[in-house]
């Protein structure tokens, strides 16, 4: 269910959510209960307290993540061309090879990267969707100098607070567990900026 929420809220389209989805209201599998006036169609608004609070929090945090990153909810369609001449297209697709999306019908994984510069944001967002029953390695595009990949979300763990983001040890690839969505943020690393400032001050002296 967390994977499905990521597919919905991290895509560029308009999310369509049915009341109760955020706390796993299933309507007992009935997707069209308009004519039923019973427990199947009734919605218990306290449902998020009866064992589904974790999903409720996850959806709430994921909505906040989407709202924070403008590139995820642009008013116009993103292009696969580098129209800003910034080195990256607005949206691109990847797999075990960077810049190559395996889009055949039998494939169960894909990497989607958004370039924040098209929303006046100085970061990249890479979303690795692995719906396969096996772990897979995703290749990552090279980042600009001084940038590092940070793990911001993993559906096997949840959404991480920004001060708890983990630096990805290998900037060239990421291992994604089976049936898991992992979200990476590429941005300037604080230590790099500090070292650059120190070097600049040293030269001034």
Angle ∠(112,113,116) on CA atoms, nearest 5: 145
- pLDDT digits 0-9 by tens, 119-148: 999 999 999 999 999 999 999 999 999 999
Position 174 in a domain: yes
Residue pointed to by tokens 């919905």 = 8
Does residue 49 sit in the same domain as residue 97? no
- pLDDT digits 0-9 by tens, 162-199: 888 899 988 899 999 999 999 999 999 875 444 334 33
Total structural domains within the chain: 2
Residue ending a domain, among 51, 68, 85, is: 68
Residues, the chain:
205
Does residue 77 sit in the same domain as residue 49? no
Give me the mean pLDDT over the 63-81 stretch. 94
Amino acid 203: pLDDT: 42
CA distances from 12 to 30, 78, 168 (A): 28, 8, 25
> For a pLDDT cut of 90, what percent of the chain falls above it?
63
Which band of pLDDT confidence, cut at 50, 70 and 90, is reported for residue 31? Answer: confident
Of residues 13 and 8, more confidently modeled: 8
Residue pointed to by tokens 């006046």 = 120
Report helix, strand or coil for 155: coil
Amino acid 191: pLDDT: 57
Does residue 121 sit in the same domain as residue 83? yes
d(CA 114, CA 183): 11
Which band of pLDDT confidence, cut at 50, 70 and 90, is reported for residue 98? Answer: very high
Which band of pLDDT confidence, cut at 50, 70 and 90, is reported for residue 200? Answer: very low
CA distances from 148 to 22, 90, 143, 195 (A): 32, 19, 7, 14
Position 159 in a domain: yes
Helices in the chain by DSSP H: which ranges? 2-9, 53-68, 190-204
The answer to whether residue 51 scores a pLDDT higher than 80 is no
Does residue 105 sit in the same domain as residue 28? no
Does residue 89 sit in the same domain as residue 172? yes
Does residue 154 sit in the same domain as residue 111? yes
Structural domain of 31: 2-68
For residue 98, what is the DSSP state? Answer: T
Q: Are 128 and 153 in contact (CB under 8 A)?
A: no
């Amino acid at each position: 269910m967390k994977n499905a929420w990521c597919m919905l809220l991290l895509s560029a389209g308009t999310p369509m959510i049915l009341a109760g989805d955020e706390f796993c209201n299933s309507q007992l599998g009935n997707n069209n209960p308009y004519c039923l006036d019973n427990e199947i169609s009734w919605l218990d608004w306290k449902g998020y307290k009866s064992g589904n609070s974790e999903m409720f929090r996850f959806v709430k945090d994921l909505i906040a993540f989407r709202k924070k990153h403008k590139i995820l909810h642009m008013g116009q369609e993103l292009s696969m061309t580098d129209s800003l001449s910034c080195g990256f297209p607005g949206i691109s697709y990847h797999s075990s090879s960077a810049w190559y999306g395996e889009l055949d019908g039998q494939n169960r994984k894909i990497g989607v990267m958004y370039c924040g510069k098209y929303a006046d944001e100085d970061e990249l967002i890479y979303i690795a969707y692995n719906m396969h029953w096996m772990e897979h390695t995703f290749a990552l595009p090279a980042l600009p100098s001084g940038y590092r990949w940070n793990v911001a979300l993993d559906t096997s763990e949840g959404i991480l607070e920004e001060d708890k983001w983990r630096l990805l040890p290998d900037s060239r690839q990421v291992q994604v567990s089976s049936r898991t969505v992992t979200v990476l943020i590429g941005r300037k690393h604080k230590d790099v900026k500090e070292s650059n400032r120190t070097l600049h001050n040293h030269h001034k002296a």
